[in-house]
Amino acid sequence: MVCLVGPASIRAPKEDTVRALVIVPAYNEARSLPTLLPAIREAMPAADICVVDDGSDDETAAIAAAHGAVVLRNAVNLGIGGAVQAGYLWARDHGYEVAVQVDGDGQHDPRSVPLLLAPIAEGGADLVIGSRFLTAGGFRSTALRRAGIRYLSWFIAMRCGARVSDPTSGLRAAGRRAIELFARAYPSDYPEPESIPIAIRAGLRVTEQATEMAPRRHGRSSIGASQTLYYLMKVSLALILLPQHPNRRDAR
Amino acid sequence: MTSAEAISPQLRIFGAAVLLVFVGWVVRLVRTERLTLRDSLLWLLSTLVALVTIAFPELLFETAHLLGVQVPSNALFVLTILYLLLNLFSVTVGVSFVSARTRRLTQECALLRAEIELLRGDRSSAAHPSEA
């Protein structure tokens, strides 16, 4: 399905800018969005913003629309994987060259988004993961979670050879090939680590970029402390049992 | 080995009656289109196997003997549990399949709705303020 309609597609390309879409998955983030969306706009003035309202009960959709974002309203809550994939489908169908994921809870600093785009613009990468562990400072999460992230990083290196220091990071930029891959096949539940080997195996070039993150300001993480172990086991199993034919998954 | 009398005729008639009523019910659901033929197949097939076992209990005793089960009724329980697990698992597979489709359809609805909003121009100026 290609729906090249609306102002997005008839806009003349600007010099020095690629057509970029910022995908913001949001579930009940009405309190974060009023600060997050203007910050994204400031950091990426030429980019379009697409907020995926994943079945929120609050004013998430209305606030996003009021801030000038395209709003994808999931009628039922699909979880982060289904929400992010909706954004990639939008990016694919509207011919965006790059898509950047920024979590709706405000833990990602939009000012680091242009940094993520650089490797893609230079043609050196298809997927760039924002990592909070490549620089000193910033929010680094709890010790337990850091240990879990180190383990996942090691596991992914074992599984597909990718060196990614922060595989759970939801701050990432995707070039055209990654957009097309993720629109077809994006994992559900806890998709961030799993999506990396899926990209590698599809022949994409994955790199990482140092960014700073902040603790979330409002609401609760989708993963509680007691669920960290479940998270690690589920993700490990997912990494072992990668889909055989990622292109066929979620086939239309 | 226990003889064929281990299953009383009354029990066999009762069991067969229950299974036949069940088959009749499934057939009725299929014919009134409340159950698809595809989803009913595994139930019909496994119920047929149960009916054959009731009609020819010797098969059950043979199976018990082959499995090395001393008491044939235990073999019956094992087979019953397998029957239930098989049908339950096929439902789980079906639910996974359906939820993948629901996910895709939900996304498609969201995309179409956003598309309509853009076409209507509800927020055409707001959605692309870089032009405004």
**More confident site: A1 or A211:** A211
Q: Can you give the pLDDT at residue A141?
A: 73
| A4/B contact by beta carbon, under 8 A | no
Residue B16 belongs to some domain of the structure: yes
Q: Can you give the pLDDT at residue B125?
A: 46
| A13/B contact by beta carbon, under 8 A | no
Residue B94 belongs to some domain of the structure: yes
Number of structural domains (chain B) is 1
Mutual orientation of helices B37-55 and B9-31 as an angle, nearest 10°? 170
DSSP code string of A135-189 = SSSS----HHHHHHHHHHHHHHHHHH----S-TT---EEE-HHHHHHHHH---SS
Residue B2 belongs to some domain of the structure: no
Confidence of residue A15 (pLDDT cuts 50, 70, 90): very low
Nearest to B110 among A46, A86, A252 (CB): A86
DSSP state of B33: T
Domain carrying residue B72: 10-125
Residue B130 belongs to some domain of the structure: no
Give dist(CA A92, CA B116) in Å, integer: 17
Name the H helices within chain B.
Answer: 9-31, 37-55, 57-67, 72-120, 124-127
Q: Can you give the pLDDT at residue A250?
A: 45
Residue B102 belongs to some domain of the structure: yes
Give the distance from residue A190's alpha carbon to the nearest chain B alpha carbon, in angstroms: 15
pTM score, two decimals?
0.81
Give dist(CA B132, CA B122) in Å, integer: 14
DSSP state of A106: S
Put simply, the answer to whether B110 touches A75 (Cβ < 8 Å) is yes
Dihedral sign from CA coordinates of B79, B81, B87, B90: negative
| B126/A contact by beta carbon, under 8 A | yes
Residue B37 belongs to some domain of the structure: yes
Q: Best interface-test mutation with A: which of B95, B103, B108, B125 has the largest number of A CBs within 10 A?
A: B103
Residue A12 has pLDDT above 90, yes or no: no
Residue B98 belongs to some domain of the structure: yes
Give the distance from residue B109's alpha carbon to the nearest chain A alpha carbon, in angstroms: 7
Q: What percent of chain B has pLDDT over 70?
A: 87
